Amino acid sequence: MRIPHLLHVFSNFVPTGTELRTIQVIGSFGREYRHSIVSMDGRTEAAERLPAGLDVRLLPNPPKAGSFATARRLRRLLLEEKPDLVLTYNWGAFDMLLAARSTGFGRVLHHEEGFNEDEATSFKRRRVFARRLVLPRVHRVVVPSRKLLSIATGLWKLPAERVRLIPNGIRLASFTAAEGNPELRRRLGIPLDVLVAGAVGSLRPVKNYLRLLEAAAAVPEAHVLLVGEGEERPALEARAARPDLAGRVHLAGYQADPAPFYRAMDVFALTSDSEQMPVCLLEAMASALPAVSTDVGDVKAILPPDQADFLAPPDGQAAAALARAISRLAGDPAARRRLGAANRRRVEEGFSFEAMCAAYREIYHSALVS
């Protein structure tokens, strides 16, 4: 029996949300498909996370020579590889959509996951027009959030039947209720009797962890635990060194398994300027943590109604609002337990890994037989 060949095209193949979720989905399918992966910028660090025993190849990245030249090279790649299905991820892989269109290849699933800081508050007109022109020709556009579904059908003017909402899901068994994780706190130099507000994610400007530090500076009893790595680390280290935060900020770097770090937290903080359906929030909820967050993407819809009072608009007043939310939870352990338990139930009821994989299997099949 012939095994279908899937070609995945990423802007970069690094161990962050989109790539890690795709790796998990690939692993769940076993040897049901063959996979080839292209990283447009040549970064392939996420390959280390691919499960053993699968038929997965890393292909050379195309030259950075402008969209049309790059699309021509990708066109040759399509003709050489002859994939059964092409999967593209975000704007950085858009040149492959141009290449597929030039060959008449229509078995394409394009995934839109969210936006970086360059489109956190407004959209680039050129990209809007490109999406309106090209995306109606693909088999489906896959989005993880209702917010992105609205953008796709409204701003990009895609027919509703061309867009598929597949919410993110996580393996619940990987996360247990936060209990302070005293051993990890000791290793990180965090006192056992302080409130820890934590965050997990790449240290990029759009995540705005400086907002979290400003909030923590106004809550003297709080420490901050940041799990992740990225370009913003020097700025965060500089802010953390100032007297109002000295000794209260702990940067743990990238961690392949963040579950023990969630257990060392008391409150989860999401302070981004832009999100859609953040996996880190689901993981924190599965760890029975209460959350304080900017009101971005689908965050309000993901969280239970009781969490609405702990959300803040992502504006210039957000740090002060988040500080008040952290301070409120710091003084009310019973509320932390109650909200954490409700968050765990919410994930159990609506965001399972199995349901997400079943949805992906169905849409892969529908594209392959189209």
Report the distance separating Cα 169 and Cα 282, nearest Å.
Answer: 8
Cα 140 → chain centroid: 20
φ/ψ (deg, to 5) at 108: -125, 130
Report the distance separating Cα 272 and Cα 257, nearest Å.
Answer: 22
Report the distance separating Cα 196 and Cα 221, nearest Å.
Answer: 9
- In tens digits, the chain (370 residues) has pLDDT values of 789 999 999 999 998 888 999 999 999 999 999 999 999 999 999 999 999 999 999 999 988 766 678 888 999 999 999 999 999 999 999 999 999 999 999 999 999 988 877 776 788 999 999 999 999 999 999 999 999 999 999 999 999 999 999 999 999 999 999 999 999 999 999 999 999 999 999 999 999 999 999 999 999 999 999 999 999 999 999 999 999 999 999 999 999 899 999 999 999 999 999 999 999 999 999 999 999 999 999 999 999 999 999 999 999 999 999 999 999 999 999 999 999 999 999 999 999 999 999 999 999 999 999 8
Q: Where do we find the tokens 């971005």?
A: 296
Sequence ranges of the domains in the chain: 5-169+352-368, 172-350
Phi-psi region of 63 (alpha: psi -120 to 50; beta: other; left: phi over 0): beta
CB atoms within 10 A of CB 12: 20
Q: Which amino acid is it at 193? A: D
Do 5-169+352-368 and 172-350 show the same overall fold? yes
> Is the CATH number of domain 172-350 3.40.50.2000?
yes
* CATH number of the domain located at residue range(s) 5-169+352-368 in this protein: 3.40.50.2000
**What's the whole-model pTM score?**
0.91
In b/e form, how buried is each residue of 248-287, taking b as 16+ CB within 10 angstroms? bbbbbebeeebbebbbbbbbbbbbbbbbbbbbbbbbbbbb
